[in-house]
Amino acid sequence: FSRAKKGMVLINIGRGALLDEQALINSLKNGEVAAAGLDVFTVEPLPAASPLWDMPNVLVSPHNADLTEDSRYSSVMFFTKNCENFVTGRELECVVDKEAGY
């Protein structure tokens, strides 16, 4: 965080392990990071003892950043298309890399 532009706003809706939470907390306290919006955490659910809960410059969401007006419909359509691909022997979309874990 010390290499980033001072006063940046960090948003993490990807994976909790993408960042060092303690380093983020320190950077939020010293002003290197102005604010953070977090939907994912290293440990989920976010432990009650985490200082992130009480920081005025942090927005914590309940791991549902993907919930949009049409997300359920889109998910069903994607699943249906991939089922069709499987049944017809076509390549599946968005296959998980089992070694990488995503």
The verdict on whether 90 is a catalytic residue reads no
The verdict on whether 72 is a catalytic residue reads no
Catalytic position from the list 32, 44, 69, 90:
44
Catalytic position from the list 21, 32, 63, 72:
63
Catalytic position from the list 15, 72, 84, 90:
15
Long-range pairs for 35-39: beta carbons < 8 A, 24 or more residues apart: 35/9, 35/10, 35/59, 36/9, 36/10, 36/11, 36/12, 37/9, 37/10, 37/11, 37/12, 37/13, 37/61, 38/11, 38/12, 39/12, 39/13, 39/63, 39/64, 39/65
Q: Which residues does the annotation mark as catalytic?
A: 15, 44, 63
